[in-house]
Amino acid sequence: MKLDIMVVAPHPDDAELGMGGAILNLLAAGKKVGVLDLTSGEPTPFGSEEKRAAETAAATKILGLSWRENLGLPNRSLEASLEARKKLAIMFRLHQPEWIFAPYWTDAHPDHTAATELVDGARFWAKLSKTDMPGERFHPKRIYNYYSVHLKMHAQPKFVLDISGHWEKKYESICCYHSQFVQGREDASPSFLEQLRDEASYWGKTIGVRYGEPFTSREPLGLKAMSKLI
C-alpha cells in the first residue's frame, strides 16, 4: 500500500499521544496515513502483549487508519542498529511515504531517541542502489517531529496544528490504552488524561484556537503563500 504519510512510533500509543489530532486532520484531507509501531511496548506494569494489541486495535479503529503495522523490535532495548535500520528502510521503500513523522529527538526515554535516530538513518538508506533491500529506491521528502516526551520540558515547536475539530476523537483513541493511562493511576490528581487535555488547550491558546498539537523539524519549512498561516 502506497502511503502519503507514515508515522513512526516507538510504542503503540505514542502516535496517538503525539499527533492523534494531526492523523485525523490528514485523513480528513484525503491523505493516506499509516502508523508503524516499532515495538509492542511490553512489558509494562499493567499491560500484556494481548492486552496491548487489543488496545492498539481499538485505537486504530477510532482513528480510521487502514494501515498500521508493528516492526517487532525489542521494547526497552530499542537500538539504532544496522539490522533495525534496514528493516525500517525497507518499509520506506515498499510504502513510499512522502512525509515521515518521528518522535522529538531529545527525550529521557532511550527508545524514543533511538527511534528518531533510526528514522534518520533509514531515510538515507531507503534511497540506496545496489542493495538487497526489496522495493524501489526512495527518499521521503520531509521528516517532521512530534512531541511525546518523558522530560519535564517546554517544547519550542516550529508550528502548532489546530486540532480543535479532532480533539474528541484523539482523546477517545488515547482512552483505549487503559492499561497505560488509567489503570494504576486512579488516585493521581490531576489525572494523566486531564493533563493531556490541559496541554492540548495550552497549545491551542498559543495560536488562538481551542486545541493544538506542536511539531518541529530539523529542516527548514517552506511556504508558497503567507495566506496559509493562521
C-alpha cell at 118: 533510526
For residue 178, CA distances in Å to 52, 174, 214 come to 9, 8, 24
What pTM did the predictor assign? Answer: 0.97
Element of type H or E holding 38: strand 33-39
Domain-located, residue 225: no
Domain-located, residue 223: no
Domain-located, residue 193: yes
Whether residue 126 is predicted with pLDDT greater than 90 in this model: the reply is yes
The residue assigned the cell 511525546 is: 148
β-partners of residue 145 are 102, 216
CATH of the domain at 153: 3.40.50.10320
**Predicted local confidence at residue 227, as pLDDT:** 87
Domain-located, residue 163: yes
The SS3 assignment for 39 reads strand
Its domain, for residue 112, covers 5-218
Domain-located, residue 227: no
For residues 8-31, average pLDDT: 98
Domain-located, residue 228: no
User: For 195, phi and psi rounded to 5 degrees?
Assistant: -65, -40
Element of type H or E holding 84: helix 82-95
**Total tally of structural domains belonging to the chain:** 1
Instruction: Categorize the per-residue pLDDT at 136 as very low, low, confident or very high, splitting at 50, 70 and 90.
Output: very high
